[in-house]
Chain A
């Protein structure tokens, strides 16, 4: 897991655009064994039916030109360049679509932690271009039915998603990491 990623938008791989709205693009990354892998970057607005302005950013090896393997773990020779390329694509999309937001899901704890460390380690740099938000999910605590019951029961179906601005150097324990990260472009 790469945690010392340094974002530099002037040092990116060559990006091939596959859609005129930047919803799909790809670039070749070099793995530690020297082999090349084509990574697809998908920016999708079809993920959430009620949030048309929040697009989801996903990336991974492009399989058969119509599937992205977003779960695979790859040993990139230059993680910083890979993430810089993905973020540059995101910035280009957001610059063209200033009213939109891009979301990225920390699909597991390790990834969520890596994204958070990447944001914090590059906070000043990223803040030149983006507003960065974290989303926490809160669950409804129900009333106890009987006084002798231990803790309060919770209703796992009654959730609230609360966004907040990510602050520089905020320390968050692993179990309290944001569930979702959102970016939009900073107005100049």
Chain B
């Protein structure tokens, strides 16, 4: 990775950590759903999906 980009990533990470805030609740006007929810409904399906994804 280019040094300038790597440096900027570290800067932004450090800035975020310094913000000292977490668990901010933000909703989406679309209703906060993804189509993935409709395709993967159970823990078993999710496990199979993640196994496939990690194998790629």
Is A18 a contact partner of B19 (Cβ separation < 8 A)? yes
Is B22 a contact partner of A19 (Cβ separation < 8 A)? yes
Given A160-B39, A163-B49, residue A20 in contact with residue B18 (CB < 8 A): yes
Interface segment out of the listed A61-69, A74-82, A146-154, A168-176: A61-69
Is A159 a contact partner of B27 (Cβ separation < 8 A)? no
Q: How many residues of A contact B (CB 8 A)?
A: 60
Chain A residues contacting B39 (CB-CB under 8 Å) are 135, 137, 159-161, 179
Identify which of residues 73-106 in chain A touch chain B, using a CB-to-CB cut-off of 8 Å. Answer: 88-89, 91-92, 95-96, 101, 103, 105
Given A17-B19, A22-B16, residue A68 in contact with residue B35 (CB < 8 A): no
Is B50 a contact partner of A51 (Cβ separation < 8 A)? yes
Is A47 a contact partner of B37 (Cβ separation < 8 A)? yes
Is A70 a contact partner of B20 (Cβ separation < 8 A)? no
Is B36 a contact partner of A51 (Cβ separation < 8 A)? yes
A and B contact pairs by CB, cutoff 8 A, 8 listed: A23-B22, A48-B40, A50-B47, A51-B49, A137-B35, A160-B45, A161-B49, A163-B52
